[in-house]
Structures are given as structure tokens and as C-alpha cells.
Structure 1
Amino acid sequence: MTILHEACQRGDLDFVRNFLSRPDADVNARDAEEGLTPLLAATEHLPMVQFLCQQGANVMPTDNFGRTFLHIATYRGHAPVIEWLLEGYKQQQHPGDDSSSSHNKSCRGNPWAECIDQANETALHYAAYRGNLQIAHYLIELGQVDILARNRLGKTALTLARQAEELPLVSYLNSLILLSNACKCQENDLLKRLLQAGVFAKFRFGRNGDQLIHGVCQDGNLEGARILHKYGDKVDWDIPSGSGKTPLHYAARMGRDQVVRWLCEQGVAVDRPCPVGSSAFVISVLVGHVDVAKVLLQFGADVNYRDSSGVTPIHQFSWLVRKDAYLWSV
């Protein structure tokens, strides 16, 4: 480790300031042992981190083990540094938005939150190793960390917390997984009791980065959706999953006309496009869910909506008819 990295690690701001004033100084220089940059070495010292960022430090480097700033800061347990960095990212994405209700959605797509190291471990795994409930809670509330993510040995954060006998963290993660299972199995009484007990409902899980609201809408669990709406903490029914689809897209694709109607009554954006540019109405036409299409039209869906390719629903429908006629003829 160089003298610059050592100074960053101990938080010697005066030395680092003088060192970086030299014309040949590199704020992103790596040490030969672990591949740490000055920023990665400084994760326990907020003033140092702030200064290095002001000097143009790369905030997304990885060391020789694939660890990001978030991994290292989480393992070292310095919550103020983590919060400062992620809040800074939030303000870049949503300038002027300081409302607490927007915190979950504003970190959508956060580049640090989904990073994995060479062992396929997220920052949540690192929090589990240390039993750091505060940081685990914060990362999960970002709405991006997959609570079910597995490392190369197949272990989730819950498994690691159990092995470390970190009981408060085990209890917290267990409550989230129990809530997830209640939604999946449509155990709505249990879902209601857990939400009334204050269990956080806006965590993400699974490969697509879904929240509970995506699952209940996809499954057509209207009662579950109503329970989440009533007892969940300011649930955003327009929030996209990790794959960019909203609850309305999921419900439309699966033909859940009652859920689609209920979502529209809640004021969701009817014509909001999914990542490929299709609205819920276009999706319902493509899949052939006439009842869903009728409901969407009742709530003002644009029948002439053009997707990212400039194609309207009638174009899509006519193509399907021609394709069906051709297949029938042969």
C-alpha cells in the first residue's frame, strides 16, 4: 500500500490534500496488493471520501476481488459513508427531490446496490457477515437489493446471518421472507398481520427485481393488492420492477382484468411504456386478453398508442391475424 493509500485509510486529510496537489498525483491510483484506489481505502472516513470525490475520484472502481466501494464500506460498517454516497446518487438522478416518500423509488437502478464481487456476493451478504442490521436495513430499503441473492456457494444473506448467529438480522430477514411467501401463496390473512406488525413491504427479490406488488398483480390476487395498499407504507403502484415493468404491465399480460381495473382506479399511468415500448393496452392486445383491453380503454388507454418502433395496437393485431391465417392454411 502506498503512502497515499495509507493516508486515506487513516483519514489524514491534510496529507492527502497536499499530496494530490502535485501535478503528477493520481486520485485513482491503485495499490499493488489488493488493487485498492484511494477512495476504496478511505471508506471509514466520510470527510476523506467527500474530498476524494470532489477531486474526481472514480466512485465505481472494483479491487482485485471485485469488491466495490459499497462492499468495502458495508464490511467495515461505516453507515454514514454509505448513506452519503447513495444519497448523492439519488440527488443526481432526482435533483431537488428530498421527500422521504420518494426514497425507495429514487434509488431505482442504483449501480452500487446490484454489484456482486468475484464470489457472487452483494453488499447485503457483507452486512450479514458482520451482522450489521442498520446497514442491511438501509440497503434493503433502497428497493434494489435482492434479499434472496445467492453467492457461489448458494448461500443467501439469511444463511450467512444464521451461521454467524446474528439473531436480530436473522429475525429481520426472516420477516421479509415470510411476507414474500405469504404473498406468493396468497395467504392474505398472514399478509395483513405482518404488515400491521410493521414488516417492510417494498424490498426486492428474485431475478427480475420484483416487489410484492408486482407478484400480487401478476397472480391476480386482488385482495392481496388491497391489503398492500391499505397497510403497506406508501406503496407506489407505478414503480417498475428490475426489468422495467410496472404492476399494470404484469396484470395486463396475465389477463387479470379485475386487478387491472383496480389499478386504474388507483390512478396508475395507463399508457406508461415497458422497456420494449409497449403500453399495457398493447400488451393485452398482443396476448389476446380482450377483457383487459376493454377495461384499459374505459380508463383512457390510447388506442393509437405507438411503441418504440412506431407500431400501433391495430398493426399488432392485424399481424397476428395474418400470421394465424397463414398457419391455418399450411
Structure 2
Amino acid sequence: MAGMLDAVDQRTQLVGENRLELLMFRLGGMQLFAINVFKVQEVVQLPRLNLMPHRHPSVAGVTHFRGRTVPVIDLSESIGLRPIDKDKPCNLIVTEYNNTVQGFMVGEVDRIINMNWSEILPPPDGTGRTHYLTAITRVNERIVEIIDVEKVLAEISPYDSSVSEDVIDKDLLSLADGLEVLVVDDSSVGLAQCRSTLDHLGIAVHTATDGKRGLDLLKKWAAEGEDVPNKLLMMITDAEMPEMDGYRLTREIREDPRLKDLYIVLHTSLSGSFNKAMVQKVGCDDFLSKFQPDKLATVIQDRIRSVMEAE
């Protein structure tokens, strides 16, 4: 099983090429699900679990893994399906999100596939806001559902989106009035957290749910005569999104003379050490792990100061 992930170290070759690798698996039935390999540390057979009192119903227990205690989430139950049958062969997908490590209990692990983000589509319109998918794709004529893990984790351990009072520079609040930011993210949880922080600072928020829509919006403004790098204080973008990822979005912006000076912050739940190494490669100005409202507020305020000093 560990051999499945031998190629993960080559993932940096995909950055900026609008490509990704998906780890596909089942949750008991025949339907295929997937998550981005970027977030996967290891896949192992389900080890023995220890129960925890007062745990969330979707948390099956904890296990000791490579010197640390890791919570194990029944991924099937957490998205509203029947719990995983532990009497059948089960696997544990160990992942890192927002600098925390957790394991997802799944059934059969299928394989890793390499795809273009253009082949990854948003969930169909009309599916409502309660589903747990960020995207879908098709592999060998079969639908594969890509799970919104951020939503799963937020429901088990809700994120605090409030900004500490001692972080806010009140002298800047009046300067922030009228400033605008574009947030690009396919996760409703990620969008909501960014909006909450920006609202707290009094900044107007534009949103797009994938890189292609974000780029289309920027180009529309430019075509209408807007000076986009001056219109927006910054763009905050997720890394992995349907149709066009944040890395490719950044590259497209840097190659457009009308947009190239836009300040771009990569804001993602992917591994921090990996993304910091990629920021310069694709031309982002800053990197920030998700769901850290104080740090996001600090990045925004630092950018406001920089803009004001340049004027």
C-alpha cells in the first residue's frame, strides 16, 4: 500500500501545469470518491483504534501513528452515508490539512490517477448547499466524486473565524473603507472564513468559486477599462479548484499585461512547507494556511500599509 504513494514526491512537477493527482477509493459501495494526493501523507491498513469519550459521532477513535496520536474519522458517516463496516477490509488515509494531521477511514483504495484540472468540474447546479462535494470528474466513463474535506473537518471541529481585538490596527480601519478584495475558492467554508475576516476589516469582497471564473472576472474588469491591480487590494486564492487551480490562475494573471501587477496571496489547506516552496515558482506574493483569521488579518493590514506608504 505504501508503494502507491511513491510518486507523490514528484508532485511539484504538476504545479503551474494545471494538473493534479487524485487518490480514488470507495466507502463501502461501488461509488468512487477521491481527494487530492497533495493532502495525503500515507495509506495503510486500518490499525487498531482506541475510543475517546464524548467524541464526535463521525470520529471512530484515535490511533498512534509514527509517534503521534491521530484522530480517525469515518469518512462515510461524516458525509451522511452508512458507517464503514469495520468487519470488512478497511484502509486509513493519513492526511494533513491546515497543519493538522488526521486519518480518514475508508473501504477499498482504488488507485492514483493524474488529471488536468480542466477535467474536474464543479458539482451540478441544483445540488443545494448541503452536499459534501467540491467537484466531480469522470474516469473510464464512471463518475468520481471529490469530497469537500474542509467542510467535513469544519463540522467536526468548527473553525473560529473571529479576529482578535489586539490584532486589529484601529488606525487602519478608516483607510480600509472602500478597499476591495477578490477571494477565489471552491469551498464554501473557505469563502465564508475569508469573508468574515474581510467584513471585520470593512473591506468589500468579490468572490469566485474556481480559478477560471476568477480569471474571467478579472479580464472582464480589465476589458471594461478598470485598472485591476489598483482596483483590488489583493486577490486571495485557494490552490486546488475545479477547471483551473490557483497556481495556473496566478500564472495566467502574471502573463496578462493588464493584470500582472495584482497582489496575490495563496490561501490553502495544503501542506504549508510545500506551498511556501511553490510561491516563488508560480509568482504569488505571499502564502497563508487557511483558517487562521488573525494571520489573514495581519497579511491584509500589512498590504494596506504597503499601499499607503507607496502613495
- TM-score band by shorter chain is under 0.3
Higher relative contact order (CA 8 A, sep 6+): 2
Larger radius of gyration: 1
The structure richer in strand per residue is 2
The structure richer in helix per residue is 1
User: Normalising by structure 2, what TM-score?
Assistant: 0.26
User: Normalising by structure 1, what TM-score?
Assistant: 0.25
